[in-house]
Amino acid sequence: MPTPKDPPRAASDLRRRVERLSLRPAAYLAAAPRWVVFLGAVALLLTGLFVRGPGGAVALLGIAGLLGWLLTLSWPRLEPGPRLGRMAAVALVVVAAGWQAGR
């Protein structure tokens, strides 16, 4: 863990590009009422869990993509423990999508 005296590391070109491309979608989500974003995520999750076949898998991959995107944006601020937990959550949703695609 960096100490307060450590100089901040420069972000890579890829990271800066991802952050720049994420500004508009992140601003849109921040401006939307929280309940809309929450209900949209819950709807995708429930659709993914209860719709058999590719439809459910696509919905779960949408949730995994959203979680992965948020993980990518928050990565520099997270400690190793929360990073691991969020990576496990993304992996679990991807595994569930694979399972759902095979049903």
| pLDDT digit string, tens, across residues 31-78 | 999 999 999 999 999 999 999 999 999 999 999 999 999 999 999 899
Question: Which residues does 53 contact at the CB level (< 8 Å), separation at least 6?
Answer: 100, 101, 103
Alpha helices in 3-102 (DSSP H): 13-31, 34-50, 54-74, 80-101
pTM of the model: 0.82
Confidence grade of residue 2 (pLDDT, cut at 50, 70, 90): low
Question: Which residues does 56 contact at the CB level (< 8 Å), separation at least 6?
Answer: 47, 48, 49, 50, 97, 100, 101, 103
> How many residues in total does the chain contain?
103
